[in-house]
Structure 1
Amino acid sequence: MSPISLLSDRDLDAPLAWRHGVPVSARQFLADVVRFAPELEAGGPVINLCVDRYAFAVSLAAALVRGETSLLPPDARPDTLARLVEAGGHTFAIVDAEQAETPGLPRILIENRPPVADAGEQPVPEIAADLHAVSLLTSGSTGTPQPHAKSWQTLVGDVAAAVGRLSGLLGRSSLSGLTLVATVPVQHSYGLESSVLLAMLGGAAFDSGRPFFPADVAAALASVPQPRALVTTPFHLKTLLLSGVALPPVDLILSATAPLSPQLAAQAEQATGGMLIEIYGSTESGQVATRRPTQSEIWETFGQIRVHAEHDAEGGERFIFEGDFIPEPTPLADVLELVDERRFRLLGRANDLIHVAGRRSSLGYLNHHLNSIPGVVDGAFWLPDDVTDGVVRPVAFVVAPTLDAHAIIAALRERLEAVFVPRRVVHVTAFPREGTGKLTARALREFALAQLASDGTPVQLTHEVPADHPAFAGHFPGQPLLPGALLLSEVLEAVQGVPALAARLGAQPTLAAAKFLAPVRPGSTLVIDLIPETGASRGLRFEVRSSGVLAASGRWTPGSAA
């Protein structure tokens, strides 16, 4: 297998990057890679935590030249970094800020050094095609990073397919001269593919920053020459357009991580004068398809990538992508409607389908309509664990300073089936979104529970009691039941999972009363009601039901240390 160049065939004296409005040539980039590569520790792997996109690119290239794998975590929390350290290995981090913390992990600081006075003739390094180049890590809903290994050949093929599609859409022979300004972190698969790699392997250039606030995005775009492209997400794009900040002309807008409404796409194209293209893919597969939402709802795959449906014995369906740069057939966690083997409609995430009163929809579909209401800055539906009148009712959380709940519900009645219209709308100031604009299921659940508990709203949680719980062995042979002390422990653990309730009781809550009214058997599903008390006591009542029968009730109060 022949090696593949670190950079595409390009003019080495033309800009590969822009730093604060100053161009950095590809030749200078290669000189910086040669200068930094010897500073890396042997053995790896390398955890690339650089925020500056140019520092990241130099670090990534230096690792490739050394034959090392770069780990790209979703965040730099100590617990995330601890999981990446390989036993017996030589894992180390690269950072671009002195104040960056990597507790217990060796690190190397890549400094912002002045350019080499004479970069000279720098040969473009050749990288082994089968080198394990990067492991992209996602947190998902569990918070545990899941690594997805990518070879250098896979990354090169992925970017080549995107270059061909984007060049054709822009009516250009290549992406040479196009400068990319990205609001997404480079450690994310989309941020990596559509900024640094699209420049290194596709002939474009990238801005080194990661602007977030609308004024910073506008300034970053204005600091680089045309043609220019904005690489962003629906959340960032909506925030930018609602700000009213004047934007310089943009030739291309790339959007990914969530479906974009045709209305927002049209507004973006009108505000910038550019073409908006959505990218579809996943960390597992890379980017595999595009669409222009102002012209069609149908996605078309890159190159010769094909998609087909598979069915299991239970009647379940999943959609498999294969071909071109995808090393092996890869399922994606979405529900599609296939037009043919290269075109499809996206119906929603397979794991966000919900059922209300016998009707089926997806949270993505509901969120689309919620966020299309004029005046809603941001919004998300959430389906609680509790059941009211035998039907689970969705709750809508919104950032909408100019609208009240009645106006939002009235607008949703015009867009949704009646069973999906929320009975409650909760106004919030912001959502706990990730750097890509994503709102994970876990983060939304914790956020929703905290918001509901903070205003005295009862919270209901469910908990499965394992059939093989060790406590059943001694309580009692032939008639096992869960001891009362462990049942109370389950209640307290439920309280600790809701930050607002945990704060109410403090670090050392006191059990003021408890009654045990029915046995809890192996394999039971517990429904735990937590009812905040009003008044000065700040107490918390609880009721625990097993199979619809009240098994326990009681009350916790704040301890003396609270």
Structure 2
Amino acid sequence: MTPNPGLLPLLAERDPDAPLAWRAGVPLSTRQFLADVARLAPQLPAQGAAVNLCSDRYDFIVGMAAALVRGHASLLPPDARADTLSRLRESHGDGLFALVDDPALQTPGMARLVIEKAAGPAPGDAGGGADTAAVPMIDAERHAASLLTSGSTGAPQPHAKTWRTLTGDVAVAVERLCRVLDLPSLAGLTLVATVPVQHSYGLESSVLLAMLGGAAFDSGRPFFPADVAQALASVPRPRALVTTPFHLKTLLLSGIALPEVDLILSATAPLSPQLAAQAEQALHGVLLEIYGSTESGQVAMRRTTETEVWETFGEIRVHAEPGGEDGNERFIFSGDFLPEPTPMADVLELLDERRFRLFGRANDLIHVAGRRSSLAHLNYHLNSIPGVDDGAFWLPDEVADGVVRPIAFVVAPELTAAVIVAALRQRLEPVFVPRRVVHVKSFPREGTGKLTVRALREFALAQLAEDGTPVRLLHTVPVDHPAFAGHFPGQPLLPGALVLAEVQEAIRRVPALLARLGAHPTLAAAKFLAPVRPGAVLAIELNPEASGGGVRFDVRCDGVVAVTGRWTPVAESPR
């Protein structure tokens, strides 16, 4: 009988009694997985989409597979916070239902189904006569999952994937992994992942790589180094560690004895050659980096200790075309499992249509004193300094003497700022060497180890405000601001009250200043010295006072002070 080309299997061909997953060292067979899916699918509602909030990888994939069998898409939010779920309801309607494996997790306004950790049939048991080893076939064009990433507004942005796209995405990665490892298949390989399964990389390189590539996976998500070592030791070899540069560096710095692995996969940020070599030496495995995005899935790979050049998977090709928002080239990936040409938010150097070097995010490029670099490049050199446990460059809005000056934040308890600056002078052009290095205890990284632009900005402003450092922010006045219509014909200017409102908004964006002044500060003094015209760029400088808890401010337009004054947490007599 000819297979239906419109259907694709839920699982790759495999021994039904071989482990698909491991939970705390106990194997869970493919047969048991299929029985658990068959048991759960009829319990799902007839309509709607599943919001999969399971933290255990086995529970997660039982829920996702049951939803596929039932005909539902799975929505994968980055977290289970109440405001995230509320935004999902606003954008997708009231037909959503949540799949959870923690009975204590609440989902306000959303029906909830708790996935029980059922025992399932014993190996070799056909489950009362039913063929529990029969693999369901899924419509290849079915909307299988929507990965939800938080945009700049904080609202989850969906990236829909069909089952054909997910299957093709994994297939090209399996082919490359088998070639690099010189293996006929991934059968017998067990994956231990530190990344959340709701993230595109965590989904592709843990549960889907096992389901569609013949491997197995550990059901947990170890975070602390001791937990990672324990999880690796609990599964047989050959085994792989699926991780990120941040998690990998934390693991290697811990000093904990680590079990040997056969493969290390890393993604979410470029890895330094030094850290890659250190990881291969400590774990005795081959380290491969994966390049991709939520929109495209994984599209390229490199072995970092051998080359800086990335090579695309399968028949994927990349080309450059003009038309980026900043006037620069865009780099478009197309072919193979990609349903349509997909642009990347990165700057690449193309060697040919399948090989490239990665320079960093397009919105990561910075200009200092006429020179161009990327924050990723600066962070790479900062984190390559021995003794720097974690570090990040930040470029403030501040303009001093016409030159923006970068600041380096570091977790480096044994190093002084002078030592770090001296090391950076050996690695960077002089204009990018920071004038200031700020020591911090940790960074507000996400579960994948990523440090978002927004989180770093808020963190940096808070750190600088805590030690009394002036905080400087920029705001561009819209040329079509409605206030200009009445103030004044022929000579439009922004009313002083609106300038003060922008100062208040700037204070709200700095947690340390907001805590200092409270939600309703008092305007103790204000002087209006120059007009603010349409299109003006306001440089707002906030200076925490050494005593009294007040904050002085200056608002400059083209270097000229337009407004100056002072806010206090309590009412004072105006001067």
Contact 1:141 1:443 in 2 (8 A): no
Following the alignment from structure 1 to structure 2, what is the Cα–Cα distance between the partners of residues 49 and 71?
9
1:359-370 aligned at under 5 Å gives the runs: 359-370=371-382
- Deviation of 1:113 after TM superposition, in Å, equals 2.7
Report the residue type matching 1:266 in the other structure: A
Does 2:439 align with 1:427?
Answer: yes
Match of 1:98 in 2: 103
Report the residue type matching 1:110 in the other structure: I
Q: Percent identity?
A: 75
- Deviation of 1:140 after TM superposition, in Å, equals 4.2
Following the alignment from structure 1 to structure 2, what is the Cα–Cα distance between the partners of residues 243 and 310?
45
Does 2:61 align with 1:57?
Answer: yes
Does 2:185 align with 1:174?
Answer: yes
What are the superposed Cα offsets for residues 98-139 of structure 1, whole Å, 9 maximum, x if unpaired?
Answer: 221322222211122333454532111110000010111112
1:205-224 aligned at under 5 Å gives the runs: 205-224=216-235
Following the alignment from structure 1 to structure 2, what is the Cα–Cα distance between the partners of residues 441 and 140?
11
Match of 2:460 in 1: 448
Residue 506 (structure 2) aligned to one of 485, 494, 507: 494
Report the residue type matching 1:211 in the other structure: P
Task: Classify the secondary structure of the residue corresponding to 2:331.
Answer: strand
Contact 1:412 1:421 in 2 (8 A): yes
Match of 1:42 in 2: 46
Match of 1:162 in 2: 173
1:50-89 aligned at under 5 Å gives the runs: 50-85=54-89, 86=91, 88-89=93-94
- Deviation of 1:344 after TM superposition, in Å, equals 1.1
> More displaced, 476-485 or 161-170?
476-485
Contact 2:94 2:110 in 1 (8 A): no
Following the alignment from structure 2 to structure 1, what is the Cα–Cα distance between the partners of residues 118 and 16?
20
Report the residue type matching 2:451 in the other structure: L
Task: Classify the secondary structure of the residue corresponding to 2:341.
Answer: strand
Task: Classify the secondary structure of the residue corresponding to 2:177.
Answer: helix
Match of 2:297 in 1: 286
1:268-287 aligned at under 5 Å gives the runs: 268-287=279-298
Does 2:29 align with 1:17?
Answer: no
Does 2:260 align with 1:255?
Answer: no
Following the alignment from structure 2 to structure 1, what is the Cα–Cα distance between the partners of residues 206 and 150?
21
Report the residue type matching 1:51 in the other structure: S
Report the residue type matching 1:45 in the other structure: A
Task: Classify the secondary structure of the residue corresponding to 1:327.
Answer: coil
What are the superposed Cα offsets for residues 4-45 of structure 1, whole Å, 9 maximum, x if unpaired?
Answer: 010000001000000111000000001101111122122221
Match of 2:10 in 1: 6
Task: Classify the secondary structure of the residue corresponding to 1:55.
Answer: helix
RMSD: 1.5
Match of 2:473 in 1: 461
Following the alignment from structure 2 to structure 1, what is the Cα–Cα distance between the partners of residues 214 and 246?
28
Match of 1:395 in 2: 407
Report the residue type matching 2:7 in the other structure: P
> More displaced, 332-341 or 395-404?
332-341
Does 2:118 align with 1:113?
Answer: yes
What are the superposed Cα offsets for residues 152-171 of structure 1, whole Å, 9 maximum, x if unpaired?
Answer: 00100010101111011111
- Aligned residue pairs, count: 560
> More displaced, 153-162 or 514-523?
514-523
- Deviation of 1:311 after TM superposition, in Å, equals 1.9
- Deviation of 1:304 after TM superposition, in Å, equals 1.0
Following the alignment from structure 1 to structure 2, what is the Cα–Cα distance between the partners of residues 323 and 441?
31
What are the superposed Cα offsets for residues 408-452 of structure 1, whole Å, 9 maximum, x if unpaired?
Answer: 000000000100000000000000001110001010000000000
Following the alignment from structure 1 to structure 2, what is the Cα–Cα distance between the partners of residues 222 and 142?
41
- Taking structure 1 as the reference length, the TM-score comes to 0.97
What are the superposed Cα offsets for residues 263-322 of structure 1, whole Å, 9 maximum, x if unpaired?
Answer: 111111111111000001111111011110111111111111111111239852111111
Following the alignment from structure 1 to structure 2, what is the Cα–Cα distance between the partners of residues 208 and 454?
41
Task: Classify the secondary structure of the residue corresponding to 1:340.
Answer: coil
- Deviation of 1:538 after TM superposition, in Å, equals 0.9
Extract unaligned runs of 5+ from structure 1: none
- Deviation of 1:146 after TM superposition, in Å, equals 1.7
Match of 1:412 in 2: 424
Contact 2:195 2:243 in 1 (8 A): yes
Following the alignment from structure 1 to structure 2, what is the Cα–Cα distance between the partners of residues 88 and 352?
35
Extract unaligned runs of 5+ from structure 2: none
Report the residue type matching 1:352 in the other structure: D
Report the residue type matching 2:377 in the other structure: Y
Task: Classify the secondary structure of the residue corresponding to 1:98.
Answer: coil
Residue 297 (structure 1) aligned to one of 297, 308, 322: 308
- Taking structure 2 as the reference length, the TM-score comes to 0.95
Following the alignment from structure 2 to structure 1, what is the Cα–Cα distance between the partners of residues 338 and 370?
39
